Amino acid sequence: MTEIPSNLFKYNTEVESFLSIFNSCESLKNIPRNLINNNSKIKDVRSMFYKCKELETIPIEIINKVMNGLIDYECMFYGCTKADNYNNLAEEFKKPY
């Protein structure tokens, strides 16, 4: 998988956890900016993109939503070192299990 459909979770408004959902999708290159826009009940995104090592960028919209909510986001982007903004992420996003 190299792409995620932008409206993949649009109608899944009751989802509370995306724990490890794309974990180790090593060919994934892009994350849609609006991927979790309609998911207001999220509580857990730990390891959501863990080791998605081909990601080109990490959308600031997703970072902001996660940081502004009461959401557990440990290891969310661990190993996504190719992303152009990886080094700017808070350490909590990048630490391993």
The domain limits of the chain are 1-8+15-97
**Helices of type H across the chain:** 60-68, 91-94
Mean pLDDT by runs of 10 across the 97 residues of the chain is 94 97 98 96 98 98 94 97 97 92
**Amino acid letter at 13?**
T
**Amino acid letter at 91?**
E
Report the pLDDT value the prediction gives residue 58, as an integer from 0 to 100: 98
> Backbone phi, then psi, for 73, in 5-degree steps?
-125, 20
Residue 11, token pair as written in the block? 């109608």
Are the CB atoms for 27 and 52 separated by under 8 Å? Answer: no
Report the pLDDT value the prediction gives residue 97, as an integer from 0 to 100: 78
Q: Alpha-carbon distance 74 to 56, whole Å?
A: 20
